[in-house]
Amino acid sequence: MATDNNTLEAKNGDSCHSCKNRRTILSLMASGLTCIVSSYAFGSSLLTPSQMLGPFYPEKIPLEHDNDLTTVSGNYGISAGEISHLIGQVLTPNGSPVIGAKIEIWQCDAFGQYKHPGGGGGQDPNFQGYGRTRSGVDGQYRFKTIKPVTYPGRTPHIHMRIVSKNANLTTQLYVKGERLNDRDFILNAIRNTRARSSLIIPFVHEPGFPPDELVARFDPVVAG
């Protein structure tokens, strides 16, 4: 199993901008979503949009919750699916690293089931389903997981939650090029195009990683 590698929202706008944000929030409330879409610009950076926690956050944090979701202690296999490295830095709007932030991710397995009583319980015994780590001195974090897959009603996504001294962000990450993105009601509840696009990331091959594994880079921006 891999171990945690700890080395590895400033409103800005006029009243028109504020009205736009209020309209967006009212629209979300009317549609029954329990998320708040954060699309305030601060300087040259955009705060990462908030999204709903979803129904499959663990009822109880599992004993095994490290940053490698592709293996499970006591099992000798590796997760089904496309092994992927999710890497990035947690940053403030001015580009400073956020040190020691707790970062959690959770997602369904390659068969579209969450390791949760309400999500099928998980079909892949070798997939951890949830992991967490802390950002290092340069704000970096790293997870080893699988490229997300679809399940009924949703485009592929990974849930992420970041908790630091000044921030508590829950969001979701999406796969660039995925055709279902255009129809996903949660992703498209974010009306600001730039904010929405910031959550859509490529999963690609990169030098320095195993040729059969993918890399996805995501730098969340949170309140400093």
pLDDT in tens, 68-104: 999 999 999 999 999 999 999 999 999 999 999 999 9
Nearest-angstrom CA–CA distance, 215 and 193: 24
Reply yes or no on whether the pLDDT at 194 is more than 70: yes
- Domain range list for the chain: 53-184+201-217
Classify the C-alpha dihedral 64-66-69-74 as positive or negative.
Answer: negative
* DSSP string of 55-100, one letter each residue: TTS-SS--S--SSB-S--TT-----SS-EEEEEEE-B-TTS-B-TT
Domain boundaries 53-184+201-217, corresponding CATH code: 2.60.130.10
Lowest mean per-residue pLDDT among 2-16, 127-141, 145-159, 192-206: 2-16
Q: What is the mean pLDDT of residues 25-33?
A: 37
The pLDDT score that the predictor gives to residue 121 is 82
* 3-state SS, one letter per residue, for 164-203: CCCCEEEEEEEECCCHHHHHCCCHHHCCCHHHHHCCEECC
**46 touches 194 (CB < 8 A):** yes
The pLDDT score that the predictor gives to residue 5 is 43
Reply yes or no on whether the pLDDT at 36 is more than 90: no
Question: How long a stretch of residues is the chain?
Answer: 224
